[in-house]
Chain A
Amino acid sequence: MAKHKTPLLDQLESGPWPSFVSDIKQEVAHRYANPKGVDFQIPAECPDDLLGVLELSYVEGETHWKHGGIVGVFGYGGGVIGRYCDQPEKFPGVAHFHTVRLNQPSGMYYKTDFLRQLCDLWELRGSGLTNMHGATGDIVLLGTSTPQLEEIFWEVTHNMNNDLGGSGSNLRTPACCLGESRCEYACYDSQEMCFNLTNEYQDELHRPAFPYKFKFKFDGCSLGCVAAIARSDMSFIGTWRDEIRVDQKTVAAYVGGEIAPNAGAYAGRDWGKFDIQKEVVERCPSQCIRYEGGKLEINNKECVRCMHCICVMPRALKIGNDRGCSILVGAKAPILDGPQMGSLAIPFIKVDDDYAGVKEFIEATWDWWMEEGKNRERIGETLKRLGFAKLLEVTGTKADPRHVKEPRHNPYIFWKEEEVEGGWQREISDYRSRHQK
């Protein structure tokens, strides 16, 4: 029997979508019934009090969670987010309600025994409530008390071969799409790169020294299943630099109606006969496709790799063979200055086994941001404040027309001495030989 009346929360259950309130109520009932006789290490009433404090917040229009705290596991500066309730007498089950972030597996593949271990652990030492997955990509374990943290950490690291994720001013848990494991569009092995960089940058993940959070996300292609371009401070997006492979016979089969466009998606209603001119050629953002005389031609030089044509006719068009990734920097959510998409910094880099070129770029970027970034300033804001050209300079990246977003606003060019032939020094006699006083 629930402790608190929750009329406002109950109303949320009446909508058409699955409700988190219903989920929490299910856990409330499960913990009170306790069919497995679990020796709960935090109060059984924890989810019940969570509903209670949430209802109170809805009534009062104020939060009852305090801001942050000193919790964590020994030596780690992230992965645990301290949450304390400011009404612990009314809601003792959530007096402590810390969040634990665990590093999700690349591509979010699980074995069922891992999930069982995870659920058993969280039933015993936490609220039983999880978030699979948080916006960060992590496995999010919601609600435990301070004494349980080291126990949870031991279990996760020693018996589950897992680790805490990132939080605070750390490198956040890197996230990737499922890449080459299932997807024909993957231009590099995003899972492997995510795994490699996660291991390489353990110190940055667990011991905070950045001005603010920093996120890596890895998309195997520009379709962007993890939306790296919008959600990560540094995005790695698969691309190719040769030509889209075209099978003209199969193009004809699409045109002739033998193969359903979009791999049969949108088949729920009759959209009429497939029209390659309208659905492919005229949809190309850089207008680089032509279909004439039964032949599809692509001007690959002008292609911006949006992949729309490939998605419409996946059996006829394939990604190129000379593959790698683009690196973009500076995406963020709208806390200051509004949201930003990533800016293209490296148009193409081959993804080799040791990721040497990628790591060189990452570390040069970090060194600059750690030096110049203000506290609580995302790298996208530092870029905006100091200019994109500065990033190119500190990372040794040669400027390229693809870096240009729009015509410059400032008509002046401030040359540096090393950029000017002869520097700032000149022989006045030489000048006077050509110019009178």
Chain B
Amino acid sequence: MALVFEEAKAKIIEFITSKAKMKSKFYFNDFTALFPDEKGRDVKKILTQMINEETLVFWSSGSTSMYGLSGAGKHADGED
């Protein structure tokens, strides 16, 4: 079944918000687990669209990448 953007987006935001007290950054696999019947590439398209509309942001240590809600979590001074 193809993912509907708005529905998938709401589910992703709800998931991130429900974990907000514990953590602010999530692995890609955390999102594929939300949609067990969908292909990883389809989930990626939703996440990319959410990045492009600036709902989500990438976080990177340099070696690993994660996704988080824009503005969530602690940031260094000057970190956008």
Contact B51–A168 (Cβ < 8 Å): no
Contact B80–A207 (Cβ < 8 Å): no
- Nearest chain A CB to B36 CB, angstrom units: 11
Q: C-beta contact mask, B37-80 vs A, less than 8 Å → 1, else 0? A: 00011001001100110000111111111001000000111111
A208 an interface residue at 8 Å Cβ cutoff?
yes
- Nearest chain B CB to A316 CB, angstrom units: 46
A68 an interface residue at 8 Å Cβ cutoff?
yes
Q: Which parts of B14-55 form the interface with A (CB within 8 Å)?
A: 27-29, 32, 40-41, 44, 47-48, 51-52
Contact B79–A82 (Cβ < 8 Å): yes
A103 an interface residue at 8 Å Cβ cutoff?
no
Contact A75–B52 (Cβ < 8 Å): yes
For the complex, give the distance between the alpha carbons of A371 and B63 in Å.
20
A88 an interface residue at 8 Å Cβ cutoff?
yes
Q: Which parts of A393-408 form the interface with B (CB within 8 Å)?
A: none
CB neighbours (8 Å) of A213 from chain B are 63
Supposing A70-B57, A70-B58 touch, asked if A170 and B65 sit within 8 A by C-beta, the answer is: yes
CB neighbours (8 Å) of A76 from chain B are 58
Supposing A208-B28, A211-B29 touch, asked if A77 and B58 sit within 8 A by C-beta, the answer is: yes
For the complex, give the distance between the alpha carbons of A370 and B62 in Å.
19
CB neighbours (8 Å) of A146 from chain B are 78-80
Q: Which of B32, B40, B60, B78 contacts A78 (CB 8 A)?
A: B60
Contact B63–A75 (Cβ < 8 Å): no
The size class of the interface chain A forms with chain B is 35 or more
A209 an interface residue at 8 Å Cβ cutoff?
yes
- Nearest chain B CB to A45 CB, angstrom units: 17
Name the residue of chain A whose CB is nearest to the CB of B31: A209
Q: Which of A208, A367, A371 contacts B58 (CB 8 A)?
A: A208
Contact B59–A69 (Cβ < 8 Å): yes
Q: C-beta contact mask, A382-424 vs B, less than 8 Å → 1, else 0? A: 0000000000000000000000000000000000000000000
- Nearest chain B CB to A97 CB, angstrom units: 11
Contact A81–B62 (Cβ < 8 Å): yes
CB neighbours (8 Å) of A167 from chain B are 60, 62-63, 65
Most chain B beta carbons < 10 A, residue from A71, A95, A208: A208
Contact A75–B65 (Cβ < 8 Å): no
Q: Which of A70, A212, A375 contacts B75 (CB 8 A)?
A: A70
Contact B40–A371 (Cβ < 8 Å): yes
- Nearest chain A CB to B37 CB, angstrom units: 13
Contact A82–B60 (Cβ < 8 Å): yes
> Chain B binding site: helix, strand, loop or mixed by DSSP?
mixed
Q: Which parts of A209-226 form the interface with B (CB within 8 Å)?
A: 209-213
For the complex, give the distance between the alpha carbons of A203 and B41 in Å.
10
Name the residue of chain A whose CB is nearest to the CB of B68: A70
Name the residue of chain A whose CB is nearest to the CB of B43: A209
For the complex, give the distance between the alpha carbons of A85 and B34 in Å.
36
Q: Which of A69, A375, A376 contacts B60 (CB 8 A)?
A: A69
CB neighbours (8 Å) of A203 from chain B are 44
CB neighbours (8 Å) of A84 from chain B are 76, 78-79
User: Hey, which bits of chain A sit against chain B, CB under 8 A?
Assistant: 66-72, 75-78, 80-82, 84, 88, 95-96, 99, 146, 167-170, 203, 207-213, 367, 370-371, 374-376
Pairs A–B under 8 Å by Cβ, sample size 29: A69-B76, A69-B79, A70-B57, A70-B60, A70-B68, A71-B79, A75-B52, A76-B58, A77-B58, A78-B60, A81-B60, A82-B79, A84-B78, A88-B78, A96-B78, A146-B79, A167-B60, A167-B63, A168-B62, A207-B44, A207-B48, A207-B51, A209-B28, A210-B28, A212-B63, A367-B40, A370-B32, A371-B40, A375-B27
Please give me the 10 A-B residue pairs with the lowest Cβ-Cβ distance, nearest first: A168-B65, A68-B61, A208-B65, A77-B58, A81-B62, A168-B60, A169-B65, A84-B76, A209-B44, A375-B27
Known: A70-B60, A84-B79, A168-B61. 8 other contacts (CB 8 A): A69-B76, A99-B62, A167-B62, A168-B64, A169-B65, A209-B44, A210-B28, A371-B40
